[in-house]
Amino acid sequence: MEGLVAAMKSTISKVDHYSAEILNRVGEGARVLGALRDSGVNLTALWAYPSKPGKAQLEMIPQSSPGFLKAAKKAGLKLSRKQTAFFVNGQDHPGAVAETLAKLSEAGINVGAVEAVCAGAGRYGAVIFLPQSDIRKASKALGIK
């Protein structure tokens, strides 16, 4: 992860985001994630959902892209091109995600999507997706180089 910056009890970093379509059948997610695990890949974030009949979409943010790319190829995944997103994590408190979204709003940036979870033990994490054309402007608004 590059460009870490503290922001109101949170850390914000730019991360690489990849998508892949897999068969939507029993065990396919376990097979793919097992193959990534066996190659030593650790994911910062993952979510999956049905995308069309018989298919599911995986959204993955690896801790290290080079190893992930090699492992994904070995697992037979056809990846989307790399996108940049922002990973926010820190001490959970009311408005934790709102603080980051407010900075983007003040810069005139419309967020494409947000995935956020409480991680327990007073921690939270969120991934913020933006149009790729706004990444540089968002980095500046969030204080990331």
pLDDT tens, position by position, 10-21? 999 999 999 999
Per-residue confidence band for 75, with pLDDT thresholds at 50, 70 and 90: very high
CATH architecture of 2-14+83-142: 2-Layer Sandwich (3.30)
Which residues, listed in sequence order, are joined to residue 79 by a DSSP beta bridge? 20
pTM metric for this prediction: 0.89
Q: For residue 53, how many other CB atoms are within 10 A of its CB?
A: 6
Question: Residues near 27 by Cβ (< 8 Å), separated by ≥ 6?
Answer: none
Which residues, listed in sequence order, are joined to residue 15 by a DSSP beta bridge? 85
Pick the CATH number of 17-74 from 1.10.10.1590, 3.10.20.600, 3.40.1190.20, 3.30.70.260: 3.30.70.260
Supply the angle between the helices 28-38 and 65-74 in degrees, to the nearest 10: 130
CA gap 98, 102 in Å, rounded = 6
